Chain A
Amino acid sequence: MAVDVKVVTYRDIFQYGAEKMGLHSEEYLKLSASIILDKQDMARLGVAEGGKVTVENELNRIVVNATASADKPHPGLAFMIKSPWSNQLEGDESCLPGVAGVRGIRAKVSPSTEGITQMDEILQRLRA
């Protein structure tokens, strides 16, 4: 089972604090390797609160924890705090001024039994 979503990133003051304490810290990983999904989408995926999901598109794939949204229903729309994890799925076109807005990253979410994508793995990908 998989759900197609548009991932919107945002800034979070708690993750900023975690970043300043260390990019390899547990707290930074916990806040960054996480996706907020609509409750209906969580149910369709059969994923419980804090369960692991794979988020992938043509660029990359990551495994993160899923959290149910406390917001009004927004099926097909997911949120991630901006981080190297969300950056794995984002294309360069978001850095080209003057081109059409590309707000939101298209991705497919599915349940996962793999381990959460770690910072070391992200660094390896950056060096590849």
Chain B
Amino acid sequence: MTEFNYKTCTGCSLICEDILFPDAVSGSFSHAKNLCRKGQAHYKALFSERAEPLVEGSEVSLDQAIEKAAEILRKARAPVIYGWSNCTLEAQEAGLALAAKIGAFVDDPSSYCEGQLMERILSGKIPSCTLDDVRNFADTTIFWGSDPSSTQPRHLSRFSYFPRGEKRQKSYEEERTCIVVDVRESPTAKLCPNTTYRVMPGEDLQFLEAVLAVLEGKIPRFGDKKKMIELGSIIKKTEYGVIFPGPAMLDSLRDQMDRFEELVRRLNEVTTFKVVPMTGQYNSRGFSQLLFDRTGRVKGVRFAASGEAAAEAPSLVEAVKGADGILVLGSDPLLDLPIGLARAFAAAPIIAIDPRLSLTADVARVVIPSAISGLETGGTALRTDGVKVTFEPSIKSDHLADEQILTRIMEEI
């Protein structure tokens, strides 16, 4: 009997556990099975642009880099630890222990993206489900401001559109309806041109109110009225619907998430409707859950000298602008953030724990190279739907794991 040695890909928040490398003995990933284009790039990154230990731009030993990092954080009066999303739960635990020890402000990219949605899901205000439930039961999936074909490439094939599930044996041919709400014709929207709803920037609330109107049997005041009424009919016929909100929708509805909560409540009076987040990095959900379990919040927490979370915390912008030492791990904020905030990061003494060269590592006072989380180190993480995944490293590496580096920094402090 053939034994398959499945590997896990941490290229996105689906954390696919069915990756096979027939040529792994020769060190080649070129004939990998089940690896998507994004996963392929993630694995290829193992062999390009790896970081070296640096202090002030000069090559040093790993020990010297760790000592310098500890020195900066020991002296810092307003330290910040930022990133986390590309780290295992074990590394996130170690990082939070360090944050509590030094009284740091902690935050991750979800702070300004899916944070408000995640808080509502984790606190039970918005009903959610697993992606396995989506595969087995969902007959209507709504990608609102999200584009899984680009961000979670196997989302549609493993869970939300193409697979045959327990109650969905006729799948996309007959039983599943895919709806896209977006400002542009995204690759996902091309799958379902007749059920794509075009919403211009800032019009998401109007779209939401129009959906509520058609559910009440009223004439919608937004968009193509006939098409909106058809959407109402699809929703009313739905047995198990799922909304996947993406950054475009969350950005647009940032101060109106109560209305989204109301929409989901109303949908559940009509039929069953769940909401599953589309987190960006592979363990973004893990950090949100960990921080929520620890502090009751999913974003922007300041730890007091006592190690407890302070009642009040500044915004990420305020915290970074006042920081005198920033530890960045599992993220590249200079690549992702707007110019003003990215400059504020660059102006502070940064310690970058990073497996690869990055813009943040480029301006960092200290660079500590790490193993690529999930590929060169094992551990656990939460998939975008909250399912816990345990994995072994795909290949052996001499690099230290994030949690080992964090533990050594803590010992030095």
Please give the residue numbers on chain A whose beta carbons come within 8 Å of chain B beta carbons, in ascending order. Answer: 6, 8, 10-14, 16-17, 19-23, 59-60, 70-72, 74, 77, 79, 82-84, 87-92, 94-104, 123, 125-128
Instruction: Please report the C-alpha to C-alpha distance between residue A98 and residue B115 in the assembled complex, in whole angstroms.
Output: 10
19 A-B Cβ contacts within 8 A?
A: A13-B38, A16-B41, A19-B41, A22-B48, A59-B339, A72-B185, A83-B335, A84-B342, A87-B336, A91-B338, A92-B341, A94-B112, A95-B112, A95-B316, A97-B115, A101-B252, A101-B256, A103-B202, A126-B363
* Contacts A92-B340, A95-B111 known; 6 new A-B pairs at CB < 8 A: A10-B147, A10-B186, A23-B357, A101-B254, A125-B343, A126-B342
The reply to whether A102 and B251 contact each other, CB–CB distance below 8 Å, is: yes
A14 vs B49: C-alpha distance when bound (angstroms): 18
Tell me the minimal C-beta distance from B102 to chain A in angstroms. 24
Most buried by B among A19, A82, A89: A19
Name the A residues within 8 Å of B187 (CB-CB).
Answer: 13
Chain A residues, Cβ within 8 Å of B274? none
Output the least CB separation between A98 and chain B (Å).
Answer: 6
Assess whether A100 is in contact with B255, with CB atoms less than 8 Å apart: yes
Which listed residue, A59, A94, A123, A128, touches B251 by the CB 8 Å rule? A94
Which of B148-156, B170-178, B377-385 lines the interface with chain A? Answer: B148-156
Number of chain B interface residues as a range: 35 or more
Q: Which residues of A contact B45 (CB under 8 A)?
A: 20-21
Q: How far is the CA of A103 from the CA of B49 in the complex (A)?
A: 34
Q: Encode B15-57 as 1/0 by CB contact (under 8 A) with A.
A: 0000000000000000000000110111011001100000000
Instruction: Please tell me if B317 contacts chain A, counting CB pairs below 8 Å.
Output: yes
A residues in contact with B389, CB < 8 Å: none
Q: Give CA–CA (A119, B153) in the complex, Å.
A: 28
